[in-house]
Structure 1
Amino acid sequence: MTLSGLRSGHPGISEAFGAALAEAAVVCLESQGHRTGKRISATGTFQRAFILAWEILQEEAQRSWADSEVATEFGAYGVAALVVKALTGQVVLERSRKGTGFDFWLGPPTAQTPLFQGKSRLEISGIRKGTERQIQARVASKLRQTERSDATLTLRAIVAVVEFGAPRTEVRVR
């Protein structure tokens, strides 16, 4: 699994946005002492491990992501999109609007299916370095957050919490 793969393969992630997500993820991973070729675990509903590869960043890219909170959020978007695609076969189709309780719409790579058929909601959160307790608390919080759209949408919700210290992605489906 390569972070550069974010530049293509997701109809809802442009090449430029994918490159930015990849940069943010690299900043987060390298801040924790990781190097390309690092094993990342998927835990929760799915149990799997992947080898995550990336390109070395230029100094300008490192400085572009100096805001740790923003880098963690966007880096988590990138890692989660790749991990969820590998686990479910679904890709990011579109960014969700604020207030819906989730970040992205997911669906089949060829999204020619009828409205909502085969689609899912994806809520993502990132933690630069966290404990098991912090990760599980964030997962619980994000699962509750997705309930905002339950009344109007009967689609499954997927929560992905990316922790860059291990690194790992806790994925839960409800």
Structure 2
Amino acid sequence: MPLQSLSERHQALTTSVAGSYLEAARVCLDRHHISPKEFTLKDNAAETIAKVEWVVADDRTRAAWANADDATRDGAYAFAIAATELLRGMFAIRRAETRTGADYYIVPANQDWEDLENCFRLEVSGTHSDKSEVQRRLRMKLEQAKQGKSNLPALAAVVGFRVQLILLQTVDEAS
């Protein structure tokens, strides 16, 4: 899983932001696991396994990320962005505006990213709960993306830190 050096590949992430997201992800992973672990990634109907390796968070990092909600949200950003890169060859190019039904704009590697017309929206969530909660949140995020004030296509991603599961799904406007 390409969690390291996200800022080198994703225009929307500065070194500081990517580093912060990685710290949050490490704290979330440390709550349940010892490195390395395999995560199941489901992209629509396709399933794959990805190895995740990380350095254990030290006391200072855990203290900085003591707010579990913030750590889960920001750690999920790291995982979701890395998963869309790994599974779809898509890269985050810009943070999305409020009420667009998304967190980031992403684009395939070979597309022009100067024009948002070629972009997809990416809506993200994370949880430390069970598999049924990961699936419930995916349904919720798909609906949120549908309701967003944007006509761009969208993906929803939900990261289940405890259950080692990442669900990525295309928003289907027809359903």
TM-score (norm 1): 0.90
Aligned to 1:92: 92
Q: Give the deviation of 1:87 after TM superposition.
A: 0.5
| SS in structure 1 of the partner of residue 167 of structure 2 | strand
Q: Is the 8 A contact 2:130 2:163 kept in 1?
A: no
Structure 1: which 5+ runs fail to align? none
Aligned to 2:61: 61
Instruction: Describe the superposition over 1:10-50 as per-residue Cα deviations: whole angstroms up to 9, x where unpaired.
Output: 01011110000000001001101x12221111025131111
Q: Does 1:159 align with 2:156?
A: yes
Aligned to 1:40: 39
After TM superposition, the structure 1 = structure 2 runs for residues 1-150 of structure 1, keeping only pairs within 5 Å, are 1-32=1-32, 34-45=33-44, 46-109=46-109, 112-113=112-113, 115-128=115-128, 130-149=129-148
Q: Give the deviation of 1:110 after TM superposition.
A: 5.6
Q: Give the deviation of 1:132 after TM superposition.
A: 2.7
Closer/same/farther in 2, CA of residues 113 and 80 from structure 1, 3 Å limit: closer
Aligned to 1:168: 165
The whole-number CA distance in structure 1 between the counterparts of 2:117 and 2:99 is 22
Question: 1:24 is matched by which residue type in structure 2?
Answer: A
The whole-number CA distance in structure 1 between the counterparts of 2:98 and 2:114 is 24
Q: Give the deviation of 1:59 after TM superposition.
A: 1.6
Q: Is the 8 A contact 1:10 1:93 kept in 2?
A: yes
The whole-number CA distance in structure 2 between the counterparts of 1:39 and 1:143 is 25
The whole-number CA distance in structure 2 between the counterparts of 1:158 and 1:87 is 12
| SS in structure 2 of the partner of residue 3 of structure 1 | coil
Question: 1:12 is matched by which residue type in structure 2?
Answer: A
| SS in structure 2 of the partner of residue 172 of structure 1 | strand
TM-score (norm 2): 0.89
Question: 2:30 is matched by which residue type in structure 1?
Answer: E
Which stretch of the first structure deviates more once superposed, 130-139 or 17-26?
Answer: 130-139
Question: 2:106 is matched by which residue type in structure 1?
Answer: L
| SS in structure 2 of the partner of residue 106 of structure 1 | strand
Q: Is the 8 A contact 1:44 1:171 kept in 2?
A: yes
Identity across matched positions, percent: 26
The whole-number CA distance in structure 2 between the counterparts of 1:114 and 1:92 is 12
Q: Give the deviation of 1:167 after TM superposition.
A: 1.0
The whole-number CA distance in structure 2 between the counterparts of 1:44 and 1:83 is 9
After superposition, the CA RMSD in angstroms is 1.7
Instruction: Describe the superposition over 1:38-72 as per-residue Cα deviations: whole angstroms up to 9, x where unpaired.
Output: 11110251311110112232221111000011100
The whole-number CA distance in structure 1 between the counterparts of 2:158 and 2:75 is 11
